[in-house]
Amino acid sequence: MKYLMFGFNVLFWLVGAGICGIGLWAWTEKDMFSNIGKITTVTLDPALIFIISGGVMFVIGFCGCIGALRENTCLLMFFSVSVGLIFAVELLFGVLAFAYKDWIKNQIESQVKNMIINYREDLDLQNLIDWVQQDWLHCCGVNSYADWELNRYFNCSSQGSIEACGVPFSCCKPTTDLIKNHHCGFKMINNADRENKIYTEGCISLGEKWLETNLIPVAAIAVGIAVVQILGICFASILRCDVNAQKAKWGYND
pLDDT of residue 40: 45
pLDDT of residue 42: 44
Angle between helices 73-99 and 46-70 (to 10 degrees): 140
Strand partners, 198: 172
pLDDT of residue 41: 47
Check the CA dihedral 9-10-11-17 and report its sign.
positive
Q: Report the pLDDT averaged over residues 61-69.
A: 88
pLDDT of residue 124: 82
Q: How far is CA 197 from CA 39, 72, 91, in A?
A: 35, 62, 42
Whose CA is closest to 68, among 54, 80, 85? Answer: 80
Q: Report the pLDDT averaged over residues 162-181.
A: 89
pLDDT of residue 145: 96
Q: In the chain, what percentage of residues exceed pLDDT 90?
A: 46
Start-to-end CA distance of the chain, whole Å, equals 22
Average pLDDT, the chain: 86
Taking only the tens place, the pLDDT of each residue in 190-238 is 998 999 999 999 999 999 999 999 999 999 999 998 998 899 899 889 9
Q: Report the pLDDT averaged over residues 27-39.
A: 62
pLDDT of residue 2: 67
Lowest-pLDDT range, 119-128, 144-153, 203-212, 216-225? Answer: 119-128
Residues contacting residue 30 through CB under 8 Å, at least 6 positions apart: 47, 122, 123, 124
Q: Which residue has the higher pLDDT, 49 or 117?
A: 117
In angstroms, the CA 43 to CA 14 distance is 28
Q: Report the pLDDT averaged over residues 161-165.
A: 91
CATH 1.10.1450.10 for domain 71-251: yes
Q: Is residue 163 pLDDT above 70, yes or no?
A: yes
Q: Is residue 29 pLDDT above 90, yes or no?
A: no
Q: Is residue 30 pLDDT above 50, yes or no?
A: yes
Residues contacting residue 48 through CB under 8 Å, at least 6 positions apart: 23, 27, 39
Q: Report the pLDDT averaged over residues 107-113.
A: 91
